[in-house]
Amino acid sequence: MPSAWKTCCCCGQYAGHFEQHWNRDTGYGLCEDCIDYCARGETAESFERTYGVAGVHYARSPSPGILRNAD
């Protein structure tokens, strides 16, 4: 899907110009300011299922250590 302006699904601010992730409502994504907050306590796999891929569906990866291991 072509990239388009997105609104953050967490805070409602501008979320960038990225491809639409299948698991988000049309027009919504994740802004850079909310990535770490939304990633807390998530595994890398669950975060990707919910928000997509860094650089494709949102701006960057969560900070190291935010995502916990599935173990």
User: What pLDDT does 11 receive?
Assistant: 96
Q: What is the mean pLDDT of residues 1-23?
A: 89
Entry pTM: 0.79
User: 27-65: per-residue pLDDT in tens?
Assistant: 999 999 999 999 999 999 999 999 999 989 998 765 555
Helix (H) and strand (E) counts in the chain: 2, 3
Element (H, E) at 8: strand 4-8
Q: Is the predicted pLDDT of residue 12 greater than 90, yes or no?
A: yes
* Rounded Cα–Cα distance for residues 44 and 19 (Å): 19
| Coil vs helix vs strand at 17 | strand
